[in-house]
Structure 1
Amino acid sequence: MLTLNRRSFIAAGASSLAMSGLSIPALAQDKPEVTIAIIGDGRTGPWAAARADITGYDFEKAIGARPRWQPGFTASLPVMEAIRSGDVDFTFATSTAVVNAVDVGIPIVPIAAFPLPVNTVDGVVRKESGIRQATDLRGRKVAYQRGTTGHFSLLKYLEAAGVDFSEVQGVSLTGADGFTALSQGEVDAWFHWQPAATIGLARLADQVNRLDGVPTYDYAFYVAREGFHQEHPEIAVRLAVAVREVQRRINADPAGTVAIWAANGGFEAGSIEAKAFEQLLTEKRVSESTAVDLRPADKQAADATQVLATSFYKHGVLPREVDLPGFILDPRFDPVREAVAGALAA
């Protein structure tokens, strides 16, 4: 019995159309498809701006492929399993996602990297708690999401003040649950990234404060599924360049970008969310704001990510030490670095 997978089915259909004398659109014939992971519902963020051809930028033409959008991921970490299964070809990934992928052997190719904004993670505390600095967190209930950028920032924030993580009552919760716990007084502090942290601050304005000096130490990457990169290395590189261009346009016009996202159903115009997003885009505090500084995945990115991996191993988040420079700087990725450097400089 003959079975057809999706690609052979499409090919068979195209052959039948050709035999019947019907023309096939050039787009379907000439452009391969790339499945891009979307973290969230796809109504905000750089991919939403790309889909809307922000300020006339033809994203599909720029990458030379037909994007297939795969929304619904809560963070970049779950995307790694979708890459393993072949359901995603290209994605944004924090260092935490890359570290976990390397640890369990998920086939990724680091295409490009950039340091996250230094203030993309916030520590939000209840006013009644009296918490003003890291040392005040001793003995307090602190919500965070285990194995994420927020978790890493919390660890380093405490470490810089000489506070051991064991001295706080850490509670691992998703972003939504962390916000709820803070709003109901079930925890004293909540460490999370943008935009959720700023939206949470706005919603609980009379109940909470933002801690000063909570830095973000994490890097971010754009990675491709190894099999996809082997078939279409030029598209993976073009995607990185296109992301940078889209982000440049977002940074140049925060209000216009927010209007695009509101029209896309991301939030109501003039809402708390809309105001928070415009503030964050203006201040360049969302994760992708610094994607304008995209560069090949280099030693600086590898070393910074190793610090995260070592910290997570020390605190039991990872079962073993992971060698990030050994992976990211593997000579087999040298052609990728050279191609990305050339494309970004063009």
Structure 2
Amino acid sequence: MTSRGPIVGRGRSVSRRTFLASAGVTVAAAAGMRGGPLAHAADAVPPQLTVAVIGDGRTGVWASLRAGAGGRNLEQDLGTRIIWQPGFTASLPVMEAVKAGAVDFTFATATAVVNAVPARVPIVPLAAYPLPADEVDFLVQANSAIRTAADLKGKKIAHQNGTTGTYSLIKYLESAGLRLSDVQAVSLSGADAFTAFAQGSIDGWIHWQPATALALTKLGDKARLLSDVKTYDYAFYVARGEVAVNYPQVLAKFMKIIRETQAYIFAHPAESVALWASQGGFPPNGTEQAVYEKLVRDARLSESTAVALKPVDEAAAASTQDLADNFHALGVLPNKVDVRSFLLGAQFDAAKQAVALALGA
């Protein structure tokens, strides 16, 4: 891909100006990024790349990459300096940072993407994969009468609003003909929900790994899980618009490295989790390390299925549209969002083609 001429995709030409505008980037801003004319994107390397980290980044793919797992050196491989920006509580706050220009690249759940589109956050969707079907758990008190989704009517249930947990809760309630309005849904962060649950002030709590697995270990026989609770949405890797326009090859290589690193973690669970412990993710050789290792072996962490990472396709777009429609119907989103058209937009074909080539997809 060159910096001049049309970007070709889906049988028609899309001008570079159109690509930039669709990603919320002006041509002047993109030119100013390098202090002059737009760079030859196939050869260009950014002076640095700021990567958002949800949590402290001491576990998972980011931790393995930062520690050089498998002998890899990420900065050498990409040819640029990586600035890690940790401390985000979920994907939604990351979108605000992308819009402010503070983050160049990030993991994003489908819920974050759905919220980003109407907010005109300048993201370019590079690749996607389905989250593990059993990533989410639904905890209830051990002595609770709740056994099925139907039993949740009128109960006080904690979830973190607008997240994967919310979507799983919606779909679980649907299986019994219930809506979110049929329960007392309260939005709490993982830490706050654990405290509320441990104190018995809520009837149930739905959340993702590793929080629920660690909670079950701490609570012992005071809690149990509901059956048939599933995760339905996709995860994405997205880049800030002007970064994707100027450096598609670097980002495509990053996609390949992420997929390879997750495959390495899956193939070396004990070594990987011990590495995370050495990075301060949790005390070495303790209960948390054992929980993490089991989650890795069972492929239940949010990045476990990144081994299936590929360019955004119809399955990812349709699933995310269903999530958006559900959120709108229940008032989680104030307006309808055509996220499918956004994700499959021809304006992103150049970036997706670079990713497809890198991933062999």
Instruction: Please give the TM-score of this superposition, normalised by the length of structure 1.
Output: 0.90
Between Structure 1 and Structure 2, how many residues are aligned? 321
**Higher alpha-carbon deviation: 165-174 or 48-57:** 165-174
In structure 1, distance between residues paired with 2:140 and 2:193: 12
Pairing 1:117–2:132 present = yes
- Cα distance in 2 for residues equivalent to 1:128 and 1:214: 19
* Structure 1 residues 214-253: aligned runs within 5 Å: 214-253=229-268
Q: What 5-or-longer segments of structure 2 have no aligned partner?
A: 1-31, 36-44
Map 1:1-346 → 2, pairs under 5 A: 32-345=47-360
In the TM superposition, residue 96 of structure 1 has moved relative to its aligned partner by 0.5
- In 1, distance between residues paired with 2:249 and 2:78? 9
Higher percent of residues as helix? 1
Moved over 6 A (4+): none
Structure 2 residue matching 1:87: 3-state secondary structure = coil
Q: Specify the SS of the correspondent of 2:332.
A: coil
Matched residue type, 1:129: S
CA deviation digits over 1:285-310, x for unaligned, max 9?
00000000001011111110000000
Task: Report the CA distance between 1:211 and its aligned residue.
Answer: 1.2
Q: Is the Cα–Cα contact under 8 Å of residues 203 and 272 in structure 1 kept in the other structure?
A: no
Mapped partners of 1:164, 1:101: distance in 2: 24
Q: What is the RMSD of the two structures over their aligned residues, measured on CA atoms? A: 1.7
Q: 2:133 is matched by which residue type in structure 1?
A: V
CA displacement 1:67-124 (0-9 Å, x = unmatched): 1100000011100011011110000000000011101100000000000000101001
**Whole-Å Cα distance in 1 between the matches of residues 61 and 265 of structure 2?**
8
In the other structure, the counterpart of 2:11 is none
Compute the displacement of 1:31 (Å).
6.2
How many percent of aligned residue pairs carry the same amino acid? 53
Moved more, 89-98 or 126-135: 126-135
Give per-residue Cα distances to partners, 1:241-300, cap 9 Å, x unaligned.
111011011111111111001100111012222111111000000000000000101111
Higher deviation after alignment, 169-178 or 93-102: 169-178
Counterpart AA for 2:103? V
CA contact (8 A) 1:109 1:226 kept: yes
Alpha-carbon distance, 1:141 to partner: 1.1
Letter aligned with residue 219 of structure 1: Y
Distance in 1, matches of 2:272 and 2:164, equals 25
Three-state SS of the structure 2 residue aligned to 1:287 is coil
State the SS of the aligned residue for 2:143: helix
Quote how far apart the aligned CAs of 1:166 are. Answer: 2.0
Q: C-alpha distance in 2, partners of 1:240/1:55?
A: 17
8 A Cα contact 2:248 2:354, kept in partner = no
Quote the offset at 1:333 in angstroms.
1.0
Distance 1:61 1:343 in 2: 17
Structure 1: 5+ residue stretches without partners: 1-7, 12-29
Q: Which residue of 1 aligns with 2:39?
A: none
The one-letter amino acid of 1:275's match is A
